[in-house]
Amino acid sequence: MSEANPERAIDRGEGTEAGRSAHSIHFDIFTLFPSMFCGPLSESILKRAQEKGLLSVALHDIRAYTTDRHHICDDTPYGGGGGMIMKPEPIFRAVETVLTGPPGWQLAPEDAFVNLPPWDPETPAPLPAEVPIILLTPQGRRLNQAIVTELSHFRRLALICGRYEGVDERVRTQLVSDEISIGDYVLSGGELAAMVLVDAITRLVPGVLGYAEGAQQDSHSPGLGGLLEGPQYTRPYSFRGEQVPDILLSGHHGHVARWRREQALLRTLQRRPDLLQTVNLSDEDRTFLRRHGWQPEMGEGEQERDADQ
């Protein structure tokens, strides 16, 4: 949760398992480039989720909420400097107009610019406490699977896509309730980050994936305890001289499960050893990892325990 706007607390009542029964999710996305979302939203899993009624997305053109002659959404920064800053008024008007309406409401194209619902720039609108308003920004908390799971419990989320050199700071301090970054790098805008967030969250909505447990067995998922997923194989048995490990054809479910656990441990050790510091490891896991060169960072108590072993 962003510390910039502590007064706008988010109601997390939908976070219970009971609250997720017959769960569907709605995204309101605020952007200067709504057409960028056409491809990702009209293909594959996201398309099927919408057809099943498990996902709905409303794209809101921030520019449509401007009333000046040239429909200006950006301006030069106070104090000088390169680039342009997104103005606060169009963003506030778009978000407050949409979120005070029901999920799915959109401004009719013929009403853009000229027939906007009433809005008072000096009076904050009463926004629904149960709807996170998320700014996609490289300054936000870095996205991980735990955050995706947290956000998947909500039924409605608002995503604001920044552009240019960013948004006026008052958007952060007075409007948004959270700020998310998808990594330590800079994109041209928040649209691609918003697409990532929509996809990652939608996968966790019950009924979206064909295999119900699929999302719980991916890398970083709770089903793997935060580990990376190990190697996967399918037909043919042999390809270019490399065969499928025979244990996967053994039919012994216990041995297969242990092999997969060990492969997940090994892959995590090789590619993301930092993750092992927070994973709940059994004694068997630790023994396996040490055989492959793992040297954990241990406190005194753990060192004494290992010495006893």
Is 75 one of the annotated active-site residues of the chain? Answer: no
218 is catalytic: yes
Q: Is 306 a catalytic residue?
A: no
- From the candidates 218, 258, 267, 273, give the one annotated as an active-site residue: 218
> Which is the catalytic residue, given 93, 172, 203, 260?
203
**C-beta of residue 94 within 8 angstroms of C-beta of residue 31:** no
From the list 74, 165, 229, 262, the catalytic residue is 165
Q: Which among 28, 138, 172, 191 is annotated as catalytic? A: 138
DSSP secondary structure of the chain: --TT-TTS----GGGSTGGGTT--EEEEEEES-GGGGHHHHTSHHHHHHHHTTSEEEEEEEGGGG--STT---EEPPTT--SS-EE-HHHHHHHHHHHHTS-TT----GGGTTTSPPP--TTS-----TTS-EEEEEEEEEEP-HHHHHHHHT-SEEEEEE-BTT-B-HHHHHHT-SEEEESSSS--SBSHHHHHHHHHHHHTTSTTSSSSTTGGGSSTTSGGGTTPPP-----S-SEETTEEPPGGGGS--HHHHHHHHHHHHHHHHHHH-GGGGGTS---HHHHHHHHHTT------HHHHHHHHH-
* Token reading at 185: 């790098």
**Active site includes 34?**
no
Kindly list the catalytic residues: 138, 165, 203, 218
